[in-house]
Amino acid sequence: MTMPYYVSPEQLIKDKADYARKGISRGRSVIVLQYADGIAFVAENPSRALHKISEIYDRIAFAAVGKYNEFENLRQAGVRFADMRGFSYDRSDVTARSLANAYAQTLGNVFTEAAKPYEVELVVAEVGVDAADDQLYRLTFDGSVADEHGFVAMGGSAEAISTALAAEWNVGLDLSAAVRLAVAELTKNSANANGATSTSAPNSLSATELEVAVLDRNRPRRKFKRIIGDQLTTLLSP
């Protein structure tokens, strides 16, 4: 009699985690960092249609790396969750923490129950009245949640970028300085199609290779704004 193939639970979980990490590491990086007037999102993304950065609700935005179809499904689910909560209760009851908890449950269930985990990593950010009230939550493929402070880097060369940001980021950067810092780190750690660091990286990523947005605490109600065109070019200028 043929014996059934057996894989221990520990090995199965390890294989799923390794699979997800490899998929995420192949993606271009995204940096989310606080600046004096809010939170900036900077991604290496030449596409003008397939966004890695999106608005979720009045004060909340979403950034992701990994498989587009998977994190786009999560983004849409987050918008529905926020709209329903705001309609049922009050707009102020929609928070980044509640959204991060909902994403954590979804990602955790997929990781443990589905044959293939989501190859995604997310940041849910909420801008507050002042910098002390800003919230950054990082969610990994297995549903783990981390409350971050100051900055977050995901995908590609996230570890190297985070190390550099820890040395160079500081509280109170203006928007232009924050965006230029993020672009400089993305450029230095620019990944090729196979996820390896390019040896022929350009001097700087151009505006057409970037996706940039902010949660600006000084804007009325809806804080999210994309930065494109001449405004982005001006920000990137020394």
pLDDT in tens, 91-131: 999 999 999 999 999 999 999 999 999 999 999 999 999 99
Nearest-angstrom CA–CA distance, 155 and 22: 10
166 located within any domain: yes
196 located within any domain: yes
47 located within any domain: yes
What pLDDT was estimated at residue 9? 84
Q: Which residue range forms the structural domain that includes residue 148?
A: 28-236
Residue 194 has pLDDT above 80, yes or no: no
107 located within any domain: yes
Nearest-angstrom CA–CA distance, 120 and 140: 7
Neighbours of 160 (CB within 10 A): 15
Spatial contact of 222 and 55, defined as CB atoms under 8 Å apart: yes
* Sign of the Cα pseudo-torsion (73, 75, 77, 83, in order): negative
| Of 35, 38, 84, the residue nearest 61 (C-alpha) | 38
pTM: 0.90
Looking at the 3D structure of the chain, how many domains does it have?
Answer: 1
1 located within any domain: no
Buried b (16+ CB within 10 A) or exposed e, 60-74: bbbbbbbbeebbbeb
What pLDDT was estimated at residue 2? 64
7 located within any domain: no
Question: In this structure, what CATH number is given to the domain that contains residue 83?
Answer: 3.60.20.10
97 located within any domain: yes
16 located within any domain: no
